[in-house]
Amino acid sequence: PPGAAVPAGELTVKGYAWSGGGREVVRVDVSLDGGRTWRVARLGGERPVPGRAWAWALWELQAPVA
């Protein structure tokens, strides 16, 4: 839930990104501090064949939490 407290250590955040218009998702940027800093998430799952875009992609980010 928004504003939930998490213990210090490493946090894994997962989700999916949707590109719209049939375009491939090529990058997902995630902010854990309200937009002050950004980290690039790792794209997972099946990757589209070149020239054949999928509308969504799974992503995952592991980040240290103070």
Res 4 pLDDT > 90: no
Let me know if residue 41 belongs to a domain: yes
64 close to 9: Cβ distance less than 8 angstroms: yes
pTM (2 decimals)?
0.74
> For residue 53, what is the domain's CATH number?
2.60.40.650
pLDDT tens column, 16-65: 998 777 778 889 999 988 899 999 999 987 665 665 666 678 899 999 98
DSSP state of 11: E
The string of DSSP letters for 13-66 reads EEEEEE-STTPPP---EE-SSTTSS-EEPEEESPPPPTT---SEEEEEEEEEE-
Determine the pLDDT at residue 2: 76
Residue 51 lies in domain = 9-63
Res 6 pLDDT > 60: yes
Determine the pLDDT at residue 56: 79
Count how many domains the chain has: 1
Instruction: Take residue 13 and report the two structure tokens written for it.
Output: 């955040």
Determine the pLDDT at residue 35: 94
